[in-house]
Amino acid sequence: MDNLKIKLRQFAKDRNWDQFHSPKNLSMALAGEVGELMEIFQWLKEEETLLDNINEKNLLRAKEELADIFIYIIRIADKLGIDLINEANKKIDLNSVKYPVELSKDNAVKYNRRDE
Amino acid sequence: MDNLKIKLRQFAKDRNWDQFHSPKNLSMALAGEVGELMEIFQWLKEEETLLDNINEKNLLRAKEELADIFIYIIRIADKLGIDLINEANKKIDLNSVKYPVELSKDNAVKYNRRDE
Amino acid sequence: MDNLKIKLRQFAKDRNWDQFHSPKNLSMALAGEVGELMEIFQWLKEEETLLDNINEKNLLRAKEELADIFIYIIRIADKLGIDLINEANKKIDLNSVKYPVELSKDNAVKYNRRDE
Amino acid sequence: MDNLKIKLRQFAKDRNWDQFHSPKNLSMALAGEVGELMEIFQWLKEEETLLDNINEKNLLRAKEELADIFIYIIRIADKLGIDLINEANKKIDLNSVKYPVELSKDNAVKYNRRDE
């Protein structure tokens, strides 16, 4: 990932694109790419999106969109000095507390809506 | 990242959440988290989202949302057998061709709209 | 809808919020609300989101999020001088050409991907 | 709007598309269209998205994307038996309470984050 971060920095620098790459703008670009991921899956049944069933064309598109999404979050994190690996590990620990196994077994309801 | 992938697998397994984690559903969860990232930045000036200017509270929220987003794309990639690092590297190479320095200098217009 | 447009103008004016309501910012706020709509549906089976099956709590949340989404698109359209009713009618006519009945029967594939 | 609702019902019926049009799927399609709206504005300065400054090409694209977004929320509301006009009016009244003029003047911070 560090290697990707460096490559993306250079890519932007070569094109003088840092002027466009504020976290605000990059978050919009990220949302645009997530929208393209939606488009692949929107009319498919859940089952048709599983690895065993997804067709070649849709899997190929998903790879491209996930790559774009990944690129933009590396870029946002870099711009904000955020260590994604570290933050994700902290978040998983936090989620273990918010979603204890006994309350969350077979139940994905958001922790703050569990009692509604 | 492999370590995160394994931890997330175990997290879902412990809660019996694989029944919810189709790529279709995970992509919606990803869009939800990106929506929360938007909410941080939506009324801020671009300048206020830069690392030098962003306030402590907004930076903290951005860290949490980026962690959630990162977690979901690792999870989708795992479910679809996609190697994110590899795909991102391929995409950067592809983008070098789509956005040659001479055409893209100071110009972030999408490659297929350049001549509109 | 015209009545809503006027009320929303006044709401923003009273709070001096036009300074925040650029189409760019409003589009981000719209994306944030759509993200909240996603959160309602993300772990539900398709069937559980149908009117006959959706539970009271989720329907109530959907009403609130759709209201927010509707409010923001009225606001963006107002800021850009766009007549939503008129544009939607034109788009439906255009879609009739892009998706002729004979090619689109039981097939929601995007018109420009039909031959892939 | 009622007229649009009827036209969209017929459009879907003619193509046998109701099988695809669960609220869950339609919300993903909506997110996809919002993603396309993002793409128009993402690299533009706020000022460049204002009606006085936006260029012809971007305004035309915005019209099309807003039409798509409007179509999908009419469709979701129809599928869930929701009266958008009514819900939006209720939401504006609610927002008047959440965002009183004295607290919200020049301040768009979300009501539940005002004291953070």
In the predicted structure, residue B56 carries a pLDDT above the cut 90? yes
- Please provide residue C113's backbone torsions phi and psi, each rounded to the nearest 5 degrees: -120, 5
Same domain, residue pair A97 and A108: yes
Per-residue pLDDT reduced to its tens digit, B68-78: 999 999 999 99
Same domain, residue pair C74 and C92: no
Which residues in chain A touch residue C109, judged by CB atoms under 8 angstroms apart?
43
Residue of A nearest to C110 (CA): A39
Residue carrying the six token digits 């993603």:
D35
User: Once rounded to an integer, what is the mean pLDDT over residues A47-67?
Assistant: 97
| Whole-number percent of chain D with pLDDT over 90 | 92
Question: Residue A38 is nearest to which of D31, D38, D39, comparing CB atoms?
Answer: D31
Same domain, residue pair D78 and D97: no
Which residues in chain C touch residue D107, judged by CB atoms under 8 angstroms apart?
15
Question: Residue C108 is nearest to which of A31, A43, A45, comparing CB atoms?
Answer: A43
Contact call for C31 and D27, based on CB within 8 A: no
Best of C20, C43, C48, C65 to disrupt the A interface (most A CBs within 10 Å) is: C43
Same domain, residue pair B24 and B47: yes
Q: C-alpha angle C90/C95/C100, rounded to 5°?
A: 140
Cα separation, D75 vs D84, in Å, equals: 11
Contact call for A45 and C46, based on CB within 8 A: yes
In the predicted structure, residue A116 carries a pLDDT above the cut 80? no
Per-residue pLDDT reduced to its tens digit, A69-87: 999 999 999 999 999 999 9
Same domain, residue pair A111 and A59: no
Query: A47 CA to chain B: closest CA distance, Å?
Result: 7
Contact call for B80 and A41, based on CB within 8 A: no
Same domain, residue pair B94 and B78: no
| Whole-number percent of chain C with pLDDT over 90 | 92
In the predicted structure, residue B113 carries a pLDDT above the cut 90? no
Please name the residue ranges forming H helices in chain D: 2-14, 23-41, 56-79, 84-98, 101-104
Same domain, residue pair B64 and B102: no
Using pLDDT thresholds of 50, 70 and 90, give the confidence band for residue A40. very high
Same domain, residue pair C50 and C65: yes
Question: Residue A80 is nearest to which of B16, B51, B73, comparing CB atoms?
Answer: B51
| Whole-number percent of chain B with pLDDT over 90 | 92
Contact call for B39 and D116, based on CB within 8 A: no
Residue of C nearest to D89 (CA): C4
Q: Please tell me the predicted confidence (pLDDT) of residue D111.
A: 83
User: Once rounded to an integer, what is the mean pLDDT over residues C73-86?
Assistant: 98
Per-residue pLDDT reduced to its tens digit, D3-24: 999 999 999 999 999 999 999 9
Report the number of distinct structural domains present in chain C. Answer: 2
Residue of B nearest to A83 (CA): B63
Same domain, residue pair C16 and C48: yes
Interface predicted TM-score (ipTM): 0.95
Using pLDDT thresholds of 50, 70 and 90, give the confidence band for residue D116. confident
Same domain, residue pair C53 and C23: yes
Tell me whether residue D14 is exposed, middle or buried, using C-beta atoms within 10 angstroms of its C-beta: 0 to 12, 13 to 18, 19 or more: middle
Best of B17, B21, B24, B78 to disrupt the A interface (most A CBs within 10 Å) is: B24
Same domain, residue pair A73 and A26: yes
Question: Residue C32 is nearest to which of B25, B29, B35, comparing CB atoms?
Answer: B35
What range defines the domain where residue B64 resides? 2-82
Instruction: Give D2-9's long-range contacts (Cβ < 8 A, gap of 24+).
Output: D4/C85, D4/C88, D4/C89, D4/C92, D4/D71, D4/D74, D5/D74, D5/D77, D5/D78, D7/C89, D7/C92, D8/C92, D8/D71, D8/D74, D8/D75, D8/D78, D9/D78
* Alpha carbon distances (Å) from D50 to A106, C37, C89: 48, 27, 24
Same domain, residue pair C61 and C102: no
Q: Please tell me the predicted confidence (pLDDT) of residue C70.
A: 98
Interface of B with D (CB under 8 A): 24, 27-28, 31, 39, 43, 45-46, 57, 108-110, 116
Interface of D with B (CB under 8 A): 24, 27-28, 31, 39, 43, 45-46, 57, 108-110, 116
**Residue C50 belongs to domain with CATH number:** 1.10.287.1080
pTM: 0.96
